Amino acid sequence: MSAVPGQARVVVIGGGAVGASCLYHLAKAGWTDCLLLEKNELTAGSTWHAAGNVPTFSSSWSIMNMQRYSAGLYRGLGTEADYPMNYHVTGSVRLGHSRERLQEFQRVVGMGRYQGMDLEILSLGDIRSRYPFVETHDLSGALFDPYDGDIDPAQLTQALAKAARALGARVERFCPVTGVRREGGEWVLSTPKGDVRCEIVVNAAGYYAKQVGAMFGRDLPMMVMSHQYMLFATIPEIEAHSAATGAKLPLLRDVDSSYYLRQEKNGFNLGPYEMNCKAHWVTKDDPFPEDFSFQLFPDDLERLEWYIADAMARVPLLEKAALTKVINGPIPYTPDGNPLIGPMPGVPNAFEACVFTFGICQAGGAGKVLAEWVTEGATEWDMWSCDPRRFTGWEDPDYCVKKGMEVYGHEYAMHFPHHVWPEGRGKKLSAVHDRTAALGAQFGPYNGWERALWYARKGDDVSEAAQRTWGREGPWFGAVKAECEAVRDACGILDLPGFSRFHITGPGAAAWLAAQITGKVPNVGRLGLAYFADDMGRIVTEMSVARLGEDDLLLITAATALSHDRDWLLRHLGEGLSLVDLTNEWSTQILTGPRARDVLAAVSDGDLTKGWLTHQAARIAGAEVMLMRVSFAGELGWEIHSRVGDTPAVWDAVLAAGAPLGLRPFGMFALNSLRVEKGYRAWKGDLSTDYTVLQGGLERFVDWTKPEFRGRAALAAEQQRGVTKRFCTLVIEAGEQDPPYMATIWHEGAVVGELTSGYYGHRVGACIGLGMLKAGVNVPGTAVEVEIFGVRHPAVVQADQPLWDPKNERIRA
Ligand SMILES: Cc1cc2nc3c(=O)[nH]c(=O)nc-3n(C[C@H](O)[C@H](O)[C@H](O)COP(=O)(O)OP(=O)(O)OC[C@H]3O[C@@H](n4cnc5c(N)ncnc54)[C@H](O)[C@@H]3O)c2cc1C
């Protein structure tokens, strides 16, 4: 047995398409002292048996970015690596069965155009000109993606490995990593061929990622599904068509029936994502195997019968073909179906690029993203959708299995803005959950915490089916309007369990924070919004800061940001400072509206004359609470922070006091409506690393008098150059749908920006868009258009101030 290289700067564990792409992109970035360790032969995991489809289509902006990049990379890779590459760019026809599906396609066409791709909507008549063998009588249209294609996954992996080797990186096969330990600031990886020391490790172990993660003390949120495709023998008509046209048929995806059908040689490859799907390796009698290299599960055609029949009805030629082979292999899933790419939470110098469900079409982009994380500590595109820190550690195996199966069975489903997927619910309940449920709360999960989205009134349709619409109006609409009006005219209360909160103390804590954030640290007794920028001046996160004492800081942030923000703070924490995570000990209610002071006066001993952006300790119903005078709803209001055990008593007291004053509970849909009217940004929608602090229109949170803070140099340079695009507020004549994320803004026939939020503001009675607009066009009063599901709607650029209560008089009342 030859010895393994004893040292490398980076070790990538796993030699599938993704691991090979990580190695290639690291080497390409100049980090050539990298070593890939593969337990078997390259491709032995999921890669060898993958069908190799390479779509660019995605309804997620960041995933589309990754897939678009992959397709571009694969086009040139064969030549670059001097390796034979079967990559067929056949295009694809994605069939739509409903108006909603066509709207989804229209949205993706818009996103694709913004990314430089020309996807095309096909009318019923056009479909057969692209795909002559398909039945169209029951369809509503289709999408043609000219960039779609298929690649040989093994060749892709070998070509990436070869190109990486040519740049100086190394690959060691038949070399499993069996253990890891930390020694003197380095990782030491044990293998049967000897130890390897390295600075940085990447877990690219595919469906083995949980086992590899466990070596680092990390419990990965994932599970493994069985996924099949079937190969059919030659069909003379297909053979004749290819001979006549000199091309393969485009890939056909019947997304509403949930399968793809691809020409394979002169026959077909049929791959369903079946509802009656099967998870593997989740029960004691089906243990995870030590080694499954190049193995498959037994065929399980029974699960696929409905899909075969449906495909035969859609493309009757299929009936003529003999089934020749079934491939049934393991495919890993996270609870949301997106992979894990980025820093390994809580583990130094360790990264993840694993749990890929579409690892062939995403490998190229994933390698780029991973290499940027490793070499630069940040990525070009905001990649929150794939960031391992979007999971925060509570996702138990039961949850992972249920969500994985749900995602698999709905792989091609539409993701409607008001729809909540039913699996994996009820995992984290507020202390007053039963009370809000009794009041009609319709819940949705936020980092697992069930929060009221809206409160159903008697007779409101609360079915899941009613949520499946792109339309603004659904059963919630009237209720949300009433909730917003209560907040405007009287008072509302929103139960918000799960806010992330970090208590930072120690000598110099305030000075340390000042160097981390762009703005000022609030004075003792006061609150402030703090923006954290990266070295490029881009928006990493936003937290509320309550200064409890000179060097005593409470940082509060979104529930979903728990791991991300804790990781960021710990990574940069000053020496001698302590960070205590109080997230699970406290809960929050927002009490807001013109009568909020009267409600609070009836139950608390706090000094309610204290101004906006102050905090104080007080008592409600005998419990110690913290009152913070802020309101994300943009009205007079306080956040009431109470210990979880005290929360029910506090809730009861406030509700009882508020009842005669018109207090009513409100939910997250209303909060979204209220906050867009105030131009308040939402994290990872409006606030992301896709934008700098200056682009985000957050100058008032930049304290240029500070000699140093992270991102200062980049922001100063940007300011000198001139900010090319900037945050904007639009009022849109939007019709029936509010604009989705990344809806494009048009001016004089060209795209000049994009929306990061779009929602209806009930107080101002208009659809409001928050987004980014080219500097020259971002002039109040300018008429622009917003493309919403393929239709351009008139909109007007607003002044750089909130639409509701621009002078903040109501908040300061
Ligand atoms: C039937 C089927 C069809 C599919 N079709 C497509 C498709 O058309 N398009 C698409 O994009 N995706 C498809 N997929 C998914 C795709 O196969 C995977 O997403 C992709 O192969 C994942 O690549 P990877 O490199 O992340 O993981 P893998 O290919 O699983 O590679 C992980 C590697 O890590 C190695 N390893 C594990 N543990 C260790 C250790 N301790 N030490 C060293 N090495 C280790 C393994 O041996 C393995 O080679 C399909 C999957 C299936 C099952």
Per-residue model confidence as pLDDT tens digits over 387-426: 999 999 999 999 999 999 999 999 999 999 999 999 999 9
Q: From ligand 1's centre to the CA of 10, what distance in Å? A: 21
Question: What is the spatial distance between Cα 553 and Cα 503, in angstroms, rounded to a whole number?
Answer: 6
**Position 3 confidence tier, pLDDT thresholds 50, 70, 90:** confident
Question: What is the spatial distance between Cα 599 and Cα 610, in angstroms, rounded to a whole number?
Answer: 16
Q: Shortest CA distance to 782 belongs to which of 742, 749, 748, 754?
A: 748
Across 594-611, average pLDDT:
97
What is the best residue among 11, 22, 46, 251 to mutate for testing ligand 1's pocket, by most ligand atoms within 8 Å of CB? Answer: 46
Q: Shortest CA distance to 37 belongs to which of 81, 84, 3?
A: 3
Place of tokens 């603004």: 472
Q: In terms of pTM, does the model score above 0.95?
A: yes
Across 73-77, average pLDDT:
97
Q: What is the pLDDT of residues 314-337, one digit of tens each?
A: 999 999 899 999 999 999 999 999
pLDDT higher than 70, residue 2 = no
pLDDT higher than 80, residue 706 = yes
User: For the chain, what is the radius of gyration of the CA atoms?
Assistant: 27
The partner residues of 578 in beta bridges, in order of sequence, read 505
- The DSSP secondary structure of 315-363, one letter per residue, reads SGGGGGSPEEEEEEEEEEE-TTS--EEEEPTT-TTEEEEE--SSHHHHH
Q: Is the CB of 354 under 6 A from ligand 1?
A: yes
Task: Tell me the percentage of the chain whose pLDDT exceeds 90.
Answer: 100
Across 669-674, average pLDDT:
98
Q: What is the pLDDT of residues 243-296, one digit of tens each?
A: 999 999 999 999 999 999 999 999 999 999 999 999 999 999 999 999 999 999
Q: What is the pLDDT of residues 520-563, one digit of tens each?
A: 999 999 999 999 999 999 999 999 999 999 999 999 999 999 99
Q: Is the CB of 51 under 6 A from ligand 1?
A: yes
**Position 1 confidence tier, pLDDT thresholds 50, 70, 90:** low
Q: Is the CB of 190 under 6 A from ligand 1?
A: no
Q: What's the sign of the alpha-carbon dihedral 452, 458, 460, 461?
A: positive
What is the best residue among 356, 370, 412 to mutate for testing ligand 1's pocket, by most ligand atoms within 8 Å of CB? Answer: 356
**What is the reported pLDDT for 797?**
98
Q: What is the pLDDT of residues 760-790, one digit of tens each?
A: 999 999 999 999 999 999 999 999 999 999 9
Q: Shortest CA distance to 288 belongs to which of 201, 407, 397?
A: 397
**Position 384 confidence tier, pLDDT thresholds 50, 70, 90:** very high
pLDDT higher than 90, residue 601 = yes
Q: Is the CB of 151 under 6 A from ligand 1?
A: no
**What is the reported pLDDT for 718?**
98
Q: Closest residue (by CA) to atom 46 of ligand 1? A: 45
Q: Is the CB of 358 under 6 A from ligand 1?
A: yes
Across 76-101, average pLDDT:
97
Q: From ligand 1's centre to the CA of 16, what distance in Å? A: 5
Q: Is the CB of 159 under 6 A from ligand 1?
A: no
Q: Residue 82, Cβ neighbours under 10 Å: how many?
A: 10
What is the best residue among 48, 259, 360 to mutate for testing ligand 1's pocket, by most ligand atoms within 8 Å of CB? Answer: 360
Please give the mean pLDDT across all residues of the chain: 97
Q: What is the pLDDT of residues 728-754, one digit of tens each?
A: 999 999 999 999 999 999 999 999 999
| Cα dihedral 175, 179, 182, 186 in deg (nearest 10) | 10
| Cα distance from N-terminal residue to C-terminal residue, the chain | 77
Q: From ligand 1's centre to the CA of 176, what distance in Å? A: 16
Across 592-602, average pLDDT:
98
Q: Hey, which bits of 456-538 come out as E strands?
A: 491-496, 500-505, 527-533
Q: Closest residue (by CA) to atom 3 of ligand 1? A: 50
pLDDT higher than 60, residue 809 = yes
**What is the reported pLDDT for 185?**
93
Contact 55, 92 (CB under 8 A): yes
Q: Is the CB of 331 under 6 A from ligand 1?
A: yes
- Number of residues that make up the chain: 813
Q: Shortest CA distance to 23 belongs to which of 155, 150, 166?
A: 166
Across 205-229, average pLDDT:
98
Question: What is the spatial distance between Cα 588 and Cα 582, in angstroms, rounded to a whole number?
Answer: 12
Question: What is the spatial distance between Cα 559 and Cα 486, in angstroms, rounded to a whole number?
Answer: 25
